[in-house]
Amino acid sequence: MRVLLIEDDTALGAAIRDQIAADGHSVDWVQRLDRAAEALDAAAFDLVLLDLMLPDGLGIPFLKALRARGSVTPVMILTALDQVSDRIAGLNAGADDYMVKPFDLAELSARIGSVARRYAGNPNPIITLGELEVDIAARNLRLKGKPVILTAREWVLFEAFLQRPGQLLSKAQLEERLYSFDTDVESNAIEVHVSRLRKKLGAQVIETERGLGYRLGKP
């Protein structure tokens, strides 16, 4: 997934960023709401982690404005505001989850996975594709019962296909998944990673529509 983290506490933000990256996601981290708005206008994100008290404003009005524009991107609120009324306000504004600081980073990882599965239409963390078994929560793959190891970049791209089964993804959409790993994404990066995924998981796992993009196949 590509995650947008909106958090002005530098120590906490760095810890969350590192945790999410270690889980195999790409992360864009901003510390102000105006920067968050610019990021959302410039790229497609799979999840937003939103603090409620930012230097240039409050998170709830920002979230309401996001939903008013028709955005369905899942949003998790991360805040020190722990009153029941605060939780209700956050959820009513359109949040998908609400975590009170301080929280355990392992729990954050689990909740991110849960939200991602709900939006991908896969509440069950185990997906079977032919002889390929995918444990989304644990990020484990087994082909014919044998474990398969993917790099962080390979997993990010493969997860993009899992989240949108049957949907054609353009090269530009897939390149966005890699931006947080490298400042510049090489022009042939997608072709290289798709080729490696096919070698590891089977030639049919990703189908190519020439000139249009790629979609999840049926290995």
Q: What does the pLDDT read at residue 102?
A: 93
Q: What does the pLDDT read at residue 79?
A: 94
Task: Tokens 């998908």: give the residue.
Answer: 96
Report the C-alpha gap between 69 and 98 in whole angstroms: 21
Q: What does the pLDDT read at residue 162?
A: 81
Structural domains of the chain sorted by starting position, each given as residue range(s) with its CATH number in brackets: 2-120 (3.40.50.2300), 126-216 (1.10.10.10)
Q: What does the pLDDT read at residue 122?
A: 54
> Each residue of 75-95: pLDDT tens digit?
999 999 999 999 999 999 999
Report the C-alpha gap between 219 and 205 in whole angstroms: 5
Report the C-alpha gap between 130 and 111 in whole angstroms: 28
Report the C-alpha gap between 116 and 142 in whole angstroms: 21
Pairing relationship of beta strands 126-129 and 97-100 according to DSSP bridges: unpaired
Pairing relationship of beta strands 53-54 and 26-30 according to DSSP bridges: unpaired
Query: pTM of the prediction?
Result: 0.66
Question: Residue 94 forms beta bridges with which residues?
Answer: none
Give the tokens for residue 127: 């997906």
Q: What does the pLDDT read at residue 67?
A: 92
Report the C-alpha gap between 92 and 154 in whole angstroms: 36
Q: What does the pLDDT read at residue 161?
A: 86
> Each residue of 20-72: pLDDT tens digit?
988 878 899 999 999 999 999 888 888 999 999 999 999 999 999 999 988 88
Q: What does the pLDDT read at residue 73?
A: 87
Q: What does the pLDDT read at residue 139?
A: 75
3-state DSSP helix/strand/coil % of the chain, to nearest 5? 40, 25, 35
> Each residue of 92-141: pLDDT tens digit?
999 999 999 999 999 999 888 888 777 665 555 677 888 888 877 677 88
> Each residue of 184-208: pLDDT tens digit?
567 788 899 999 999 999 888 999 9
Q: What does the pLDDT read at residue 52?
A: 95
